[in-house]
Structure formats: structure tokens, C-alpha cells
Amino acid sequence: MAEILVLVDHVDGEVKKVTLELLTLARSLGEPSAVWAGPGYAADAKAKLAEYGAEKVYVADDADIADHVVAPKAELLAQLVGSASPAAVLIAASQEGKEIAGRLAVKTESGVITDAVGVDSDLTAELSIFGGGVNVKSRVKTGTPIIAIRPNSTAPEASQGAAAEERVTVSLSDSAKAARVVERVKQEKGARPELTEAAIVVSGGRGVGSADKFSVIEELADSLGAAVGASRAATDAGWYPHQFQVGQTGKTVSPQLYIAVGISGAIQHRAGMQTAKTIVAINKDSEAPIFELADYGVVGDLHTVTPQLTEEIKKRK
Amino acid sequence: MNIVVCVKQVPDTATERKLRPDDKTIDREAAEGVINEICEYAVEEALRLKEAHGGEVTVLTMGPSKATDTIRKALAMGADKAVHLVDDALHGSDGLQTSYALAQVLKKIGFDVVILGSESTDARMGTLAAMLAERLDAPQLSLANKVEIDGSTIRIQRLTDYGFDRVEASLPAVVSVVEKINEPRYPSFKGIMAAKKKPVETLSVADAEIDAAKVGLASAATEVVDFAVAPPRAAGTIVKDEGDGGVKVAEFLASKKFV
Ligand SMILES: Cc1cc2nc3c(=O)[nH]c(=O)nc-3n(C[C@H](O)[C@H](O)[C@H](O)COP(=O)(O)OP(=O)(O)OC[C@H]3O[C@@H](n4cnc5c(N)ncnc54)[C@H](O)[C@@H]3O)c2cc1C
Ligand SMILES: Nc1ncnc2c1ncn2[C@@H]1O[C@H](COP(=O)(O)O)[C@@H](O)[C@H]1O
């Protein structure tokens, strides 16, 4: 069976859930080979990749790979596309993932599809475009299909693979090293599930009113085991860090449940959450566009409705 | 400093956007064409760099003739001149081909900095800056919310999943910006009038030394095989809070087995 390369998305050595989704998907397309790029590779990671069906794990864990913007990862993948001739390359459709996919496409003269929500066995990708208005099936005609897939598109299912380890050395070109990361600034993340991975997301907007009041959003999220998101109005005001922004220029989330609190539902916000399965809105303005999307909505003051909801959820546990 | 800003015309997101039934490309006639929002931030950043370091700002657009409206908008904001790559042979180009075509123009006109938006609202690929950096063999300084130039060194803050990276490179470079970087200026009346007289050079595929066989629908590396308008979301239940709004939401969540 043909090899399918899956680029592993990892933070501090921990494999992200989206990678398990991609491995699961890859098993329906061929034989998954995980590709580890950057430092942090260890036995735990390998075990996780094996558990979800990686038959091979290519490992390139030099620090160099992470110390330059995007290009080294594309170079590594291009090298593997050359040596392994995979049937496809799957990458998580994070902003960086899409950039890696783009550079890899140029290097290998291959077609690239970003933001797929599914891939059929013949490698046709499914997309939801124009803010969820149109469903598209797309395919790559030239080269090795490179497909960036949205987190939460496939349910991860375990199935043991051999995870045969193969060390890969990449000698990075000078141009791959042109943009140097001189400092990494981490803004605290907390113990909540990761935004793009979470089954439930609770987001707050301008209606929340202040950074302090975001505790109302956090408490609701915690009662549901959910991730916290924010609109641009809230991140721009400095009430919540930018990496929690949901929307056109923030994260695209596809959770089972999305609760929008004090968010009007501007088109740029909708672009990042429209594919959520169930949408709930709390907003004092009955004309807010978010209600057009909501499966359930309450017109009311979030400062009373939300704490009451949190209490009620706790009671029902 | 020679600053080139890549600006795209996109169908207005406030209108219903469609694909063409015949060749399954974006229907650019159906909806009004407007400047891609994030490109306004790219233009603003280009203008600020010029104001700080001198030089010239050139707008680069690939698109049909009606994209001149978008070019004029960028010129009205204050850009000095524009290059419009326009040719029927380009219709239906995908991301890979667009990056090839724009790279050919950029090689021809030269640059110290190329600035793009992080993502367009129509294709939403978010890949073009990376592709151009690859093709032009220039450092990729993408997803910037801050750009600084100091001699031949360029530094940005690149937004990441965990916060941001400080990234450094030497010019020439390819930059993409997010909407947090600045507040785009409105064109003044004077700016709008002046824009009418600013030079817009149109280039055909041949002028830009683009291999016509490598662009356009027929040789695109990806293809839309099928599409369908998504069924509309079923109308939801909207209730007014009568003091029990939170309880009602909890009941709804329970009915859906979320609690
Ligand atoms: C290039 C570009 C990119 C963008 N990208 C994004 C993006 O990625 N994500 C994003 O979110 N936005 C993005 N935006 C911004 C977007 O256009 C909106 O401005 C933004 O989403 C508004 O945020 P909001 O809904 O929180 O604020 P508002 O639109 O001000 O809405 C606040 C809502 O809260 C309600 N409210 C107020 N007080 C209360 C209360 N006490 N109880 C209940 N409800 C209350 C109000 O009725 C209102 O509906 C982008 C814009 C541009 C130009
Ligand atoms: N046809 C085009 N002409 C000029 N610039 C473009 C074009 N297409 C994309 N861009 C630039 O690339 C950015 C990202 O676009 P995309 O990769 O299509 O999401 C846009 O914000 C523009 O700056």
C-alpha cells in the first residue's frame, strides 16, 4: 500500500490531537508514516504515533528545524517526498501548517489544498467555503497531493502500527535558514483543552466588558470542560491573548458545541466557527447576526444569564 | 526602499458568493469586487515603512480588468504606483500558479520588501507569502503584528499558537501581516483625486515573461470536481431571558447530551 506522510504537530514533545486525527484518516488512504520535525521526540511520542497507526516514523529532531521560520519543515518533507514517493502528504491546517504546505507545493511542483474537512479514498478533498455557504470537492491533478486538514474533521481511532523509526538528516539550505527565530515568547495557556482541538468552545466578545469579567466565560468553559475563545474585539482590547481569537484571522474551530457570549457575529468571526455542529448564543441584542446561526439563543444580559447557566450545569453534574 | 504590496480584489463577503457552474471557478462577476480587507493593512504598513525609511510603494495586483478599482483604492491610500498583471490566460489559476505568476513580476520589478495580507477572504489559502518566499529565495517573515527595519535588517513579531516569535532576517524579504498590525487610513479626498493620475502599468503574461502553459485553469495543479450550495442551517430557537435564560440554555444543552 502506498505511503501517506503525516506531519506531526507537537508542542513541547506532546503530540497534538489533530495528528491522531490525520493518522486515522491516513489509514483509510494508505499506510501512514509520521514525520517528526524539530526537537522533543521521545518514547512517549513514538508510542502515541504507534497507537494511532503510524507504520513508520521519520525523525528529524535537530533544533535547527525549529529555529527558522517554516522553510526547514518544508525542506524535510520535500526530501521525504523525493525518497518515499508517498501517495499524499497530510498536514494540520493551522496557519503554520498551511504555510508549510504552500512551500512544499512549490518545492515539489504539486497541487495543494488547504482547509479540507475530509478526504475520500481516491484523495478527493472536501471543503466548506464562503463561510460554510458552499461545499466543494477538490482534487490535486499535479504532483503529490498536499492536503492541509482542519482539526476536528475526523474522530481519532486507535489502531496499532509498527512505528518503525527511521532517522532522517536534513542539511538545511541557506535559504531555509534565512528567517531566524531569535526569541520565543510564550503567553500562558492554562490547563484548558486546546482551542482548535476542543469538543466544546465558549467564546467571549466585546459584551463581556473587561478582562476581569472574562472569568464569567472561563467559569462556564470549566463547567463544560471546554476551551475558551474570544472575538477580535476582546483580543484587541487586551482582555484575552490573541492566540485565542476565533475567526478569519484567528483560529478556525469546528467543535461539537460553540457558545458565543456577547459576540455580535461579524462575518470575520463567523468565518472561524461556522462549521461548529451546534451553536448557542447569549446576546442582549435580538438583532445580532449571531442569532441567524444559533441553534439556541437567549436574548438577555450575559452577566446574569451566563453565571446562571454555569450554576445550572454544575447542579446537573 | 522599494516596497511592493500585493493586493487582491475579492468578492464582497457581505454578498452571496458563488462558484461558476461552467468551469467551477469563483464567480467574480456575480458579486461586487472589493479590496481584500487584510490587504488594506498591508498597504498601510507599506506606507508607514515608506514614511519611516523613504522610498516608493508599488501596488501589485493580479486579476481581471475590474480589479483596477481595488488598485485605485490602494493608490488613494497613498501608494505611489501600481502594476496590474491582467491576462485572460490567467483565469482559473490556483495558488501554485498565482505564486509563480506574481514571483515572475516581482523578479522583473525588483523589491526590498514585499508585503502581503495573511489571507484572502475568497480562497482563504493563507499560503501565498510562504510560496513567494520559496520562489524568490527570500526570508519568510509571515503573520507579523509588528515590523521594524534597521538598515538591512528586518525584524518582525510573528504570531504563533503560544504567543509570538521574534524573527530576524536580512533584506530583501517577504512579509505578511495580520490585522493587529495597524489601523488602515481612509483615503482622503485629495488622495482619491491624486490616485486617478498615478501610473498603473498593465502587464500581460508575455510582458512578465510568464510561461502561458504554466498558468490558467487548464494547467492548474488542483481542480474543483464538484460543488453544491450547503443546505441552510435550520432556524434555531431564540428565547428572551425572563430571569431563567441560563436554566433554559442548560436544558437545551442537556437535551443535546452536552451536560
Ligand atoms: C481584516 C479583519 C479581520 C478580522 N478578523 C477577525 C477574527 O479573526 N475574529 C473576530 O472575531 N473578528 C475579526 N474581525 C473583527 C470583526 O469584524 C468584528 O469587529 C468583531 O468580531 C466584533 O467582535 P464582537 O462581536 O465581540 O464585538 P461587537 O461587534 O461590538 O459585539 C458585541 C456584542 O455584545 C453584545 N453585548 C454587549 N453587552 C452585552 C451584555 N451585557 N450581555 C449580552 N450581550 C451583550 C452586543 O449586543 C453585541 O452584539 C476582523 C476584522 C477585519 C477588518
Ligand atoms: N491575485 C493576487 N494579486 C495580488 N496579490 C494577491 C493575489 N492573490 C493573493 N494575493 C496576496 O496574498 C495574500 C494571501 O492570499 P491567499 O494566499 O490567497 O489567502 C493576499 O492578502 C494578497 O496580499
Q: Domains for chain A: give ranges and CATH numbers.
A: 3-177 (3.40.50.620), 195-315 (3.40.50.1220)
Chain B residue numbers touching A96 (CB-CB < 8 A): 160-161
Q: How far is CA B141 from CA A66, B29, B127, B173, B237, in A?
A: 15, 34, 12, 7, 46
- Looking at A11-154, list the stretches that DSSP marks H as alpha helix, in order from N- to C-terminal side: 17-27, 43-51, 71-84, 95-108
Condensed to tens digits (0 to 9), the pLDDT of residues A98-155 reads 999 999 999 999 999 999 999 999 999 999 988 888 999 999 999 999 999 999 999 9
Please compute Rg for chain B using Cα positions: 21
Beta-carbon separation of B165 and A185 below 8 A:
yes
Beta-carbon separation of B140 and A69 below 8 A:
yes
Residue A189: pLDDT band (50, 70, 90) is low
In Å, how far is A273's CA from the nearest CA of chain B? 13
Q: Is B240's C-beta closer than 6 angstroms to any atom of ligand 2?
A: no
Condensed to tens digits (0 to 9), the pLDDT of residues B112-168 reads 999 999 999 988 899 999 999 999 999 999 999 999 999 999 999 999 988 999 999
Q: Is A208's C-beta closer than 6 angstroms to any atom of ligand 1?
A: no
Short-list B99, B170, B176, B180, CA closest to B142: B176
Chain B residue numbers touching A299 (CB-CB < 8 A): 238-241
Which of A228, A267, A273, A283 for mutating ligand 1's site (highest number of atoms within 8 Å of CB)? A283
In Å, how far is A4's CA from the nearest CA of chain B? 19
Q: How far is CA A33 from CA A55, A71, A104, B98, B122, in A?
A: 6, 21, 17, 31, 33
CB atoms within 10 A of CB A230: 31
CB A204 within 8 A of CB A240: yes
A251 DSSP assignment: B
CATH says B2-219 is which class?
alpha beta
ipTM reported for the complex, 2 dp: 0.95
- The mean pLDDT value of chain A amounts to 96
Identify residue B19 by its one-letter amino acid code: L
Which of A202, A206, A301 for mutating ligand 1's site (highest number of atoms within 8 Å of CB)? A206
Q: How far is the CA of B205 from the centre of ligand 1 (A)?
A: 42
Which residue among A133, A242, A282 sits closest to B180, beta carbon to beta carbon? A242
Every domain of chain B and the residues it spans? 2-219
Strand positions, DSSP E, A164-306: 164-167, 180-186, 200-204, 227-230, 257-261, 278-283, 296-299
B140 DSSP assignment: E
